[in-house]
């Protein structure tokens, strides 16, 4: 504890930065008398920066600029667009440490994780830069002679990207880079809890040579700016990551206004531990999956489904390890779990803990407390929390988004899979077992978009599809080649070089 304090004292206090929107290639504060909001360090309450809230006029200007820029950007050679992404990637590599530190300050997670977050954006830029020399369509034959057919990808238009605070750079990068590569223009509206990270990302794009209006960055709340963007007639596509509650509203508005819409929402991810598992490996996985990012990941392990034969041993070890986790400022290299993002989020988590104890009747095995003494006084810290419960309980069904996990004991592999699937969500799932038949059956039967074998529920890589089934998503996937599906439209092209009118379906069969 004393060590953390000493480290925090060494961090120079600086004047809060005054941030601005980036609209039509210019950084500037709202000229329309918008309000401002504060960005504070969740570990100690320090004021880091002040940002403007966009007004409706700011949103209109950004959309108009993006519409105008679209006509130019869609015609820029795809390889050239890829080169700009590559430049942005290099700049991000140079700034990785500065950006990671800024991210830990505003978001709270430990430096090793914010470095990983920036690295994920670097990897994503690299991946889609390469796509600049692929972006494959298909060539195929025609059913008619002297006729050729192919499919090509077309950009969609103006994309509004609404992103959360838990991966302040990786998640925006999953959207921005493929969207730009496909020839779209974008307006990013990041969470108001992590404005600095978004600014760093847009700065590297600007310095890499993104033309005016192609990328805009506007700040403000989801309830105002998010809704204005989603309803705006000048926006063609909305890509949203956040809660299922908000996502369903975004989806409704998009369908009413005929927009393409990608939704990446909640999770209630489970790790299964079978009685033949390598228990120490399963334990490491559970700790990382449940308490990494202070449990604030959509892929966090919020349920641990453990075979009864190893339940006692596994839960005892898990409790001991959770209790020895070092909680504190994410800037302290010895700390393993940082603060929660905000007081509101911590209050929500604590409320779920009361539900677990009082309404559900679950057994609280460790944690369940707000940490507020000594070094924790001015931050939003919460103790790593483990319940023993059953699958029907509210705490085993609803997304908590904090350092809380529920142990559930099962008697068999079949029951473990049934419990894992007993969820409204279907993002990530994991199983620890040495039995190849169980592995194959788990891959087949888990109702999740991401399935891990002998690995935790977190840790997706950028070249594979990211997303989930059931209430987690609406059928789209981020990352990999799958992101190209949302950010482009297919066009089928037929080229008839016969010099005569040929009728499909008729000329091919009419003579019979
Ligand atoms: C999230 O869970 O909110 O898979 C995103 C992971 C990271 C991204 C997580 N690459 O853990």
The protein residue whose alpha carbon is closest to atom 8 in ligand 1 is 460
Which residue intervals of the chain bear CATH 3.40.605.10? Answer: 18-265+473-491
**Beta pairing class for 269-273 and 301-307:** parallel
Q: How far apart are CA 452 and CA 379, in angstroms?
A: 34
372 catalytic per annotation = no
- Of 168-172, 249-253, 491-495, 504-508, where does mean pLDDT reach its minimum? 504-508
The percentage of the chain sitting over the pLDDT mark of 70, rounded to a whole number, equals 96
Calculate how far, in angstroms, residue 316's C-alpha sits from the geometric centre of ligand 1: 28
Question: Who wins on pLDDT, 508 or 215?
Answer: 215
Q: What is the mean pLDDT of residues 58-66?
A: 97
What residues does ligand 1 touch, defined as CB less than 6 Å away?
A: 120, 166-167, 170, 297-299, 458-460
Q: How far apart are CA 368 and CA 492, in angstroms?
A: 57
Domain covering 18-265+473-491: architecture: 3-Layer(aba) Sandwich (3.40)
Note the pLDDT of residue 29.
73
Q: How confident is the model at residue 31 (pLDDT cuts 50, 70, 90)?
A: low
Say what the pTM is.
0.95
Residue 395 has pLDDT above 60, yes or no: yes
Q: How confident is the model at residue 171 (pLDDT cuts 50, 70, 90)?
A: very high
Angle of helix 78-94 relative to helix 111-131, nearest 10 degrees?
A: 160
Q: What is the mean pLDDT of residues 20-35?
A: 85
Calculate how far, in angstroms, residue 202's C-alpha sits from the geometric centre of ligand 1: 21
Note the pLDDT of residue 501.
98
Which residue intervals of the chain bear CATH 3.40.309.10? Answer: 269-453
Q: What is the 8-class DSSP label of residue 357?
A: I
CATH 3.60.20.10 assigned to domain 269-453? The reply is no
264 catalytic per annotation = yes
Retrieve residue 412's tokens. Answer: 């068999």
Note the pLDDT of residue 12.
53
DSSP three-state, residue 421? helix
Is the separation of the CB atoms in 48 and 41 below 8 Å?
yes
Q: What tens digit of pLDDT does each residue of 194-240 get?
A: 999 999 999 999 999 999 999 999 999 999 999 999 999 999 999 99
Q: How far apart are CA 351 and CA 360, in angstroms?
A: 12
Note the pLDDT of residue 32.
67
- Of 21-35, 446-460, 494-508, where does mean pLDDT reach its minimum? 21-35
Q: How far apart are CA 117 and CA 104, in angstroms?
A: 10
Compute φ and ψ for 413, nearest 5 degrees. Answer: -65, -45
Note the pLDDT of residue 1.
42
Residue whose entry in the numeric block shows the structure tokens 């604030």: 296
Residue 86 neighbours by CB distance under 10 Å: 17
The residues pairing with 240 across neighbouring beta strands, listed in sequence order, are 162, 263
Q: Which position among 264, 399, 478, 485 bears the catalytic label?
A: 264
- For the chain, what is the radius of gyration of the CA atoms? 25
Handedness of CA 461, 338, 342, 397 (dihedral sign): positive
Note the pLDDT of residue 360.
98
Q: How confident is the model at residue 512 (pLDDT cuts 50, 70, 90)?
A: low
Residue 94 neighbours by CB distance under 10 Å: 10
């Amino acid at each position: 504890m004393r060590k953390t304090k000493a480290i925090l004292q060494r961090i120079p206090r600086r004047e809060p930065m005054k941030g601005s929107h980036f609209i039509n290639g210019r950084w500037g504060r709202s000229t329309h008398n918008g309000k401002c909001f504060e960005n504070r360090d969740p570990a100690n309450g320090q004021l880091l920066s002040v940002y403007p809230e966009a007004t409706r006029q700011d949103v209109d200007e950004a959309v108009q600029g993006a519409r105008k820029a679209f006509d130019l950007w869609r015609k820029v050679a795809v390889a050239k667009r890829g080169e700009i992404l590559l430049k942005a990637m290099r700049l991000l590599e140079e700034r990785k440490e500065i950006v990671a530190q800024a991210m830990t300050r505003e978001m709270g997670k430990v430096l090793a994780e914010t470095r990983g977050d920036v690295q994920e954006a670097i990897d994503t830029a690299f991946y889609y830069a390469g796509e600049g020399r692929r972006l494959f369509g298909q060539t195929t034959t025609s059913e008619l002679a002297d006729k050729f057919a192919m499919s090509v990808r077309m950009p969609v238009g103006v994309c509004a990207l609404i992103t959360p605070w838990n991966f302040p750079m990786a998640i925006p990068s999953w959207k921005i880079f493929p969207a730009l590569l496909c020839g779209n223009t974008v307006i990013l509206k990041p969470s108001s809890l992590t404005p600095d990270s978004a600014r760093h990302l847009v700065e590297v794009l600007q310095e890499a040579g993104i033309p005016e209006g192609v990328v805009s960055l506007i700040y403000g709340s989801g309830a105002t700016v998010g809704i204005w963007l989603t309803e705006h007639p000048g926006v063609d596509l909305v890509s949203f990551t956040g809660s299922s509650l908000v996502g369903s509203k975004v989806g409704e508005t998009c369908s009413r206004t005929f927009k393409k819409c990608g939704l990446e929402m909640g999770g209630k991810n489970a790790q299964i531990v079978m009685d033949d598992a390598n228990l120490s490996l399963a334990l490491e996985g559970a700790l990382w999956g449940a308490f990494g990012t202070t449990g604030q990941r959509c892929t966090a392990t919020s349920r641990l489904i453990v075979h009864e034969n190893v339940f006692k041993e596994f839960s005892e070890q898990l409790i001991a390890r959770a209790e020895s986790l070092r909680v504190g400022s994410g800037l302290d290299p010895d700390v393993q779990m940082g603060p929660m993002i905000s007081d509101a989020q911590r209050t929500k988590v604590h409320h779920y803990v009361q539900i677990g104890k009082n309404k559900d009747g679950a057994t609280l095995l460790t944690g369940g407390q707000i940490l507020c003494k000594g070094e924790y006084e001015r931050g939003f810290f919460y103790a790593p929390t483990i319940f023993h419960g059953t699958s029907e309980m509210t705490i085993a069904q609803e997304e908590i988004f904090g350092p809380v996990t529920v142990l559930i004991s099962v008697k068999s592999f079949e029951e473990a899979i049934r419990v894992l699937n007993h969820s409204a969500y279907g993002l990530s799932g994991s199983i620890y077992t040495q039995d190849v038949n169980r592995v194959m059956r788990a891959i087949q039967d888990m109702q999740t978009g991401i399935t891990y074998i002998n690995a935790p529920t977190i840790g997706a890589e950028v070249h594979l599809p990211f997303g989930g089934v059931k209430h987690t998503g609406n059928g789209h996937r981020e990352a990999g080649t799958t992101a190209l599906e949302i950010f482009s439209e297919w066009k089928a092209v037929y080229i008839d070089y016969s010099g005569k009118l040929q009728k499909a379906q008729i000329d091919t069969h009419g003579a019979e």
